[in-house]
Structure 1
Amino acid sequence: TYTTLINAYCVEGDVKRALHLHDEMIEKGFLPDVVTYNVLINGLSRQARTREAKQLLFKMFYEESVPIDVTYNTLIENCCDIEFKSAVALIKGFCMKGLMNEADRVFESMLQRNCIPSEAVYNVIIHGHCRGGNLRKAFKLYKEMVQSSFVPHTVTVIALIEELFKEGMSEGLNEVIKNTLRSCRLTDAELAKVLVEINHKEGNMDAVFKVLTEMANDGLLPNSGKTSYAGG
């Protein structure tokens, strides 16, 4: 098969011919699977061609050329041997496709190999779990993120707050709101709007007043054109 031949060339160090075969198989209508990509990525990585390895990772996920139901085991097992940024790209790709078990395995693999997750990694995987309905996992990762002194992105905070409110997890909701008000200025109109609405629904008027005060300080006055709020 093409993958067998590509692997043979990579083992011999002839990545150029391996890539040529990859192009040839596509031209003949044979779609590379995750094993083919794994072989090529490892071959490129052994020659320190990490930029091309990352390009293949993005190609695999963003061009939809690889079926989402294939087994990603070999790619996950080797992801941290490629490069930290490539492992991050892999997590983003899995989250984008809703493959959160696979994203978690890459994340755990990074930890086991002493690859410290970045702020961006935490934001991506937390948001992915919120979208996937695994709120407890998302909240657990959020707490780890905050303990590591990382600041959650606005999109991450909004997703968490909305899901925690929807699921009635008041304790977690209050923790996220308090952390948000304590750790950053309200420079994002959408986040400010969500904080006001959720606190108002929770009957937490002290928090509503605090958010409105922060909004005023940051130029996000209600009905100013940047955001609006109508109390009930």
Structure 2
Amino acid sequence: MQKHLVPPPRPPPPPRPSAIPIGSPARIQKLIASQPNPLLAIEIFNLASRQSNFHHSYSSFHTLILKLGHTRHFSLMHNLLSRLKAHGYPVAPSLFSYIIRMFKRDVALDVESYRILMQGLCRKSQVNKAIDLLEDMLNKGFVPDTLSYTTLLNCLCRKKLKEAYKLLCKMKVKGCNPDIVHYNTVILGFCREGRAFNACKVLEDMQSNGCLPNLVSYRTLVVGLCNQGMYDEAKSYMKEMILKGLSPHFSIFHALIIGFCNVGKVNEACGMLEEMLRHGEAPHVDTWVEIVPRICEVDETVGMGNLFEEVLKVEIMPDTRIVEAAAGLEEYLIRRIHCRSRVA
């Protein structure tokens, strides 16, 4: 009987030659720069991007963006700028300046185009160039919209408050009446820099120009004044806003209560707390922790009794929580026990 011989297994096929390496980022940059056709240049860029562990250099992005801009492939250039940002590269000032010049040369700019360019400059903290764009815009007969001014004011308020205030004053002359957002932006800028007195001037200006302050205006100003220890002035503005029918936010009462407690004006602090309760605002635990010990130190019985009577009158309102007052009383009692134990 004839035996069937089993053929030996075939040897494995030889390994395919590895793909030709695309080259270094520097080589890709040179290929892109030497390619006269921008569409072929971006194909080279995309081909390299698909290679594993390959990362384009900033020079490759920069070269290709310039090439696309020169040939007015704006949508491709915009996409490449987004990819540049996704790679974590910052846009160099020189590149941004080129893009602005290109838009001025090749694109019919309108108010929206100017605003977009100003927003980009402000994001790069190039506020002087953004101001130059505003002047260029005005010289060409465009009237900037409110959002353009908001963009500039937000940027100026970070470092150049004086210029921000000047711009605010010039807006009406340039054909754009400042609105509540513009005024509140500058008020916040002054308060953030510890210049609440200047913020008061802005509030006066806005009222004389027919723009009524809102809750944000007063809240920013009152808290800013309290941060500088100007509690009596802050209280005056709180009264002003109440007379105008605005209900003070919790943060306003809290800032005044803490402030008056810090300077030893316990009666003023209690008055603020009672006013707070009348407006249906609920004191938080940290408010009670601050004011209850101060009241107890002045008068352990009558003061607290009167205060809790006022609290009970409004406790039926859904937002008030009398139980939180116990935290302040507990803080005081613990403090007294510790003091007595030391004396003993």
Question: TM-score, normalised to structure 1's length?
Answer: 0.69
Deviation track 1:43-70 (CA, whole Å, cap 9, x = no partner) reads: 9xx7362223212222333xx4x345x5
TM-superposed deviation, 1:107: 0.6
1:75 counterpart residue number: 167
CA distance in 2 between partners of 1:133 and 1:34 (Å): 36
Give the counterpart of 1:205 among 301, 304, 314.
Answer: 304
Structure 1 counterpart SS, 2:187:
helix
Whether 2:317 is the aligned partner of 1:221: answer no
TM-superposed deviation, 1:111: 1.4
Q: How does 1:1-232 map to 2 (within 5 A)?
A: 16=113, 32=128, 47=143, 49-61=145-157, 64=158, 66-67=159-160, 70=162, 72-78=164-170, 81-170=177-266, 172-186=268-282, 188-203=284-299, 204-210=303-309, 213=312, 218-219=320-321, 221-222=323-324, 227=327, 229-230=329-330, 231-232=332-333
**Rg larger in structure:** 2
TM-superposed deviation, 1:172: 3.4
CA distance in 2 between partners of 1:200 and 1:41 (Å): 63
Of all paired residues, the percent bearing the same amino acid is 17
TM-superposed deviation, 1:120: 1.4
Deviation track 1:18-60 (CA, whole Å, cap 9, x = no partner) reads: 9758967998x965299769858989xx736222321222233
Amino acid at match of 1:47: V
Deviation track 1:207-231 (CA, whole Å, cap 9, x = no partner) reads: 442366479764552499xx56414
CA distance in 2 between partners of 1:24 and 1:205 (Å): 57
Question: TM-score, normalised to structure 2's length?
Answer: 0.49
Q: Matched residue pairs, number?
A: 213
Gaps of 5+ in 1: 1-8
The answer as to whether partners of 1:103 and 1:125 remain within 8 angstroms in 2 is yes
CA distance in 1 between partners of 2:323 and 2:289 (Å): 10
Distance 1:21 1:76, change over 3 A: closer
CA distance in 2 between partners of 1:42 and 1:206 (Å): 65
The answer as to whether partners of 1:41 and 1:56 remain within 8 angstroms in 2 is no
TM-superposed deviation, 1:123: 0.8
Gaps of 5+ in 2: 1-103, 334-344
Distance 1:67 1:53, change over 3 A: closer
- The structure with higher relative contact order (CA 8 Å, sep 6+) is 1
